[in-house]
Structure 1
Amino acid sequence: MAPNDSAQITGETGETGGVPAGRRRAARYVVPVAVAGITAATIGLVPALASTGDPDLPKISAAELIEKIAASDTEQLSGTVKITTDLGVPSLGGLGGSAAGTFAPKGGAEGGEDGGSAEPTGRLMELASGEHTLRVAADGPDKQRLSILDSAAEYSLIHNGDEVWAYDSASNEAYHAKAPAGAAKGSEKGAKGKDRTAPKDLPATPQDFAQEALKAAGDTTSVTVDGTARIAGRDAYQLVIKPKQTGSTIGSIKVAVDSKTGTPLKFTLLPSSGGKAAIDVGFTKVDFSKPAASTFDFRPPKGAKVTEADESKAAGKDQAHKAPKDAKDLKGLGAEPNVIGEGWTTVVQLDTGGVGPAAASKDMPAQAREFMDALGDKVDGKFGSGTVFKTRLVNALMTDDGKVYVGAVTKDALVKAANAAK
């Protein structure tokens, strides 16, 4: 078993625990998950996947393992992924793409008049809660397939060249779009600068989550190698990422990295409050050989209802319920957001220009008011008073004068940020 080996990240020097400057490029891939933006976005703990004991692997430092991930050139694979999300919010599985109403589409996944049940954005939002089994395949930047498996149905999203198809077998509905011009040169960069173009709005594989977690270095993060593991029949190193700051709702992130290819095989995010994982996603089976070309072929079955992307956009569905990815996407909620703090304790401040929950509930019937009060915790401070609404990762403080503070931070950290902003 590889011994523990830590790398302390120092933002000023760009060096990683004594690692030469030549490794600084790889070190920039280590940061906390941008939970508020994803995920916003953006998943409890399941038994170790295909674990058969800890393999004996050569020693490796944290910086070397980060370099191995950054240098990975895996472009071909297929396999089965199990993803479990427990954010402490109601399951979205029955909502078919609406996120607790906030990002709800006009049509919905049950056959709305706009995009129908096959429209991808809403269906992928379902991965933000509950337990799901996915079948995935990739063959370079031009071919990817992701299928969400249910007990009696399957939803598939296929990218093949300049064509994007989605198909819902339960409703026999399909969605068709053209991949953006130059999609193979898109904005999502893979290892060694190679491009990934899987059309999706939420991460769905260990690689996706790891890329969100490993983006840049800072002095708020510590990284260690914590032994080895056996994942989906593969030998892997365990990379552990932790915040140095107090006040984050993220306790630690563990990434199991394939010892041969450098490909992340499993991603687990544990909240600082303890208990089972908030996000657990990993391969149960994986094959790094080239998938059959037929994997990426699709023609809608006879009788299937097909919705073209242009029709869906005209109806406003494609943009109706996309989760905001970063602060820029939150401008529509009011004034331009203000970012408070840094690293793991970053808080986004918004001014809705309206009234807070206390004033909004003033005219409600007593029972409705009691229900609203039960959803959050009343707090006060220099900022005034307000209510904190909590999940296991992302918390939000809504003040009575209409300001909102959101972050992957504790209730106390939100109150501190609100006091500082005041």
Structure 2
Amino acid sequence: MAPNDSAETTSEATGTVAGRRKAARYIVPFAVAGVAAATIGLVPALADSGDPELPKITAQELIEKIAASDQQQLSGTLKVTADLGLPSIGGLAGSFAPGGTGAGEGDSAADPQAKLMELTSGTHTLRVAADGPDKQRLSILGDAAEYSLIHNAGEVWAYDSQSDEAYHAKSDTSKAGKHEKAPKGVPATPDALAEEALKAAGDTTSVTVDGTAQVAGRDAYRLLIKPKQSGSTIGSVTIAVDAKNGVPLKFTLAPSGGGKAVIDAGFTKVDFGKPDASSFTFTPPKGAKVTEAEDLAAEAEKNGKADRLPEELGALEGFQGLDVIGEGWTSVAALEVPGGAGLPTQGAEGVPAEAQQFLDALGDRVTGTFGSGTVFKTRLVNALMTDDGKVYVGAVTKDALVRAADTAK
């Protein structure tokens, strides 16, 4: 089926539609919230099998269909591949997770804060099930082991079969209600959401309906989102949307530099019927080590490691000098390192030559009217740290970072 109608909008408006609908449909307390975002919201399909003939639809109508979807029950299998150009960090994630210190003494191998970080790299097969906002299950399938995370009416259980460890927490369902209503000033109806997303026309984004596909045996429309600006590391975002119920079935983020997708996750099997109630029940196996979340948090606080990451991120929000350069897909966040200290430069006092060579190997040295610095690159997000302690970060190319630094005040 040939592509049909298109629209232009900003990435911010498009994100509002997607985020608003996900929040309304899959309000999940505690760590399972991350599961919903990573699996139900980002689900590109891998088993495309032809382009079905479907009625023509405009980009506005398709975004409206996504926003109007109220499918709260599903089960299925999906495959998630992430290639950010970073080494696998699954084993290190716990060191930086709130209330977690990795797999050391006093920690749990079943702690979802650390386990779910493994999905940020490599390829994983998952099974998911959802029955409204109070019941979800996600299982990460390994060659000889399985990790499951279950949320059921205010309780969260996680179990790692490889280590025979379980994790238990009470989820704060009172917080979920805060997200069920749109923030003040945000359109609340599907029509209004679609209208706002598409009327925010600008020069930054192209949104088109790019034909059709079959995903996990379901007919779907393909929504194609592309930056119109040069300099972004993002080439395109493609979302396959179920033609019948509007649920996203496919999400692929392709880099502007070519090569395989940065994120490619998708249903290989999906069923929108009511999952069996047994999917959301769990009893720890006899002899399994059970860790209570409250005990982990208390131990982390005792060791001075509680909430480390949120505090650091919070500090960035109030950082003096934090600024945004540019707009849309090529916007760059600029901030200053406390004390104005950058990385050691060639010949810096007290820095061994071997250490300097190692630091230089981590990134690319660049110069401009801003001075000089080092660019650290992934396939998606790049960062420039100048020698005088300024940092520029964005989903932009190395040259775009240098231009941003040159134009900064």
- TM-score exceeds 0.5: yes
Residues 108-128 of structure 1: CA distance to partner in whole angstroms, max 9, x if unpaired?
1x4x23431111111111111
Q: Superposition pairs for residues 197-236 of structure 1, below 5 Å?
A: 217=200, 219=202, 220-236=204-220
How far is the alpha carbon of 1:312 from its aligned partner?
A: 1.6
How far is the alpha carbon of 1:335 from its aligned partner?
A: 3.8
**1: CA distance between counterparts of 2:120 and 2:405?**
28
Residues 272-329 of structure 1: CA distance to partner in whole angstroms, max 9, x if unpaired?
11111001011011000000111000111112222212222221466345698xx756
Residues 200-250 of structure 1: CA distance to partner in whole angstroms, max 9, x if unpaired?
xxxxxxxxxxxxxx8995522110011111110101111000112221110
Unpaired runs of at least 5, structure 1? 15-24, 32-37, 195-213
Match of residue 208 from structure 1: none
The structure with the largest helix share of the pair is 2
Against the structure 1 CA distance between its residues 106 and 296, is the aligned structure 2 distance closer, same or farther, given a 3 Å change threshold? closer
Alignment partner of 1:346 out of 317, 331, 334: 331
**1: CA distance between counterparts of 2:14 and 2:385?**
39
Q: Which piece of structure 1 moves more, 162-171 or 255-264?
A: 162-171
Q: Counterpart of 1:281 in 2: which secondary structure?
A: strand
Against the structure 1 CA distance between its residues 184 and 312, is the aligned structure 2 distance closer, same or farther, given a 3 Å change threshold? same
- One-letter amino acid matched to 1:338: D
- One-letter amino acid matched to 2:6: S
**2: CA distance between counterparts of 1:166 and 1:390?**
34
Q: Superposition pairs for residues 91-102 of structure 1, below 5 Å?
A: 91-93=88-90, 95=91, 97-98=93-94
Q: Superposition pairs for residues 310-329 of structure 1, below 5 Å?
A: 310-314=294-298, 315-316=300-301, 319-321=307-309, 328=314
Match of residue 171 from structure 2: 179
Q: Superposition pairs for residues 134-153 of structure 1, below 5 Å?
A: 134-153=126-145
Q: Counterpart of 2:245 in 1: which secondary structure?
A: coil
**1: CA distance between counterparts of 2:373 and 2:199?**
34
Instruction: Please provide the CA RMSD for this pair.
Output: 3.3
Q: Which piece of structure 1 moves more, 47-56 or 168-177?
A: 47-56
Asked if the contact 1:82/1:284 (under 8 Å) is kept, the reply is yes
Is 1:73 the counterpart of 2:70? The answer is yes
**1: CA distance between counterparts of 2:225 and 2:374?**
31
How far is the alpha carbon of 1:263 from its aligned partner?
A: 0.4
Is 1:107 the counterpart of 2:101? The answer is yes
How far is the alpha carbon of 1:105 from its aligned partner?
A: 7.8
How far is the alpha carbon of 1:175 from its aligned partner?
A: 1.4
**1: CA distance between counterparts of 2:160 and 2:5?**
46
Match of residue 330 from structure 1: 316
Against the structure 1 CA distance between its residues 149 and 10, is the aligned structure 2 distance closer, same or farther, given a 3 Å change threshold? closer
How far is the alpha carbon of 1:153 from its aligned partner?
A: 1.1
How far is the alpha carbon of 1:412 from its aligned partner?
A: 1.4
Match of residue 245 from structure 1: 229
Alignment partner of 1:89 out of 86, 96, 116: 86
The TM-score, its normalising length taken from structure 2, stands at: 0.82
- One-letter amino acid matched to 2:73: Q
Match of residue 398 from structure 1: 385
Is 1:367 the counterpart of 2:354? The answer is yes
Alignment partner of 2:111 out of 119, 122, 127: 119
Against the structure 1 CA distance between its residues 104 and 274, is the aligned structure 2 distance closer, same or farther, given a 3 Å change threshold? farther
- One-letter amino acid matched to 1:91: S
Match of residue 383 from structure 1: 370
Q: Counterpart of 2:179 in 1: which secondary structure?
A: coil
**2: CA distance between counterparts of 1:413 and 1:42?**
29
Q: Superposition pairs for residues 273-284 of structure 1, below 5 Å?
A: 273-284=257-268
Unpaired runs of at least 5, structure 2? 20-33, 190-196
The TM-score, its normalising length taken from structure 1, stands at: 0.79
Alignment partner of 2:290 out of 293, 306, 310: 306
Is 1:407 the counterpart of 2:407? The answer is no
Against the structure 1 CA distance between its residues 394 and 27, is the aligned structure 2 distance closer, same or farther, given a 3 Å change threshold? closer
How far is the alpha carbon of 1:337 from its aligned partner?
A: 2.6
Residues 45-83 of structure 1: CA distance to partner in whole angstroms, max 9, x if unpaired?
xx9622221111110011100000000111000001100
Asked if the contact 1:238/1:257 (under 8 Å) is kept, the reply is yes
Is 1:357 the counterpart of 2:351? The answer is no
**1: CA distance between counterparts of 2:167 and 2:270?**
28
**2: CA distance between counterparts of 1:170 and 1:10?**
45
Match of residue 61 from structure 2: 64
- One-letter amino acid matched to 1:29: V
Asked if the contact 2:4/2:57 (under 8 Å) is kept, the reply is no
- One-letter amino acid matched to 1:304: A
What is the count of residue pairs matched by the alignment?
Answer: 372
**1: CA distance between counterparts of 2:164 and 2:59?**
48
**1: CA distance between counterparts of 2:306 and 2:274?**
32
Q: Which piece of structure 1 moves more, 402-411 or 174-183?
A: 174-183
**1: CA distance between counterparts of 2:368 and 2:15?**
39
- One-letter amino acid matched to 1:364: V
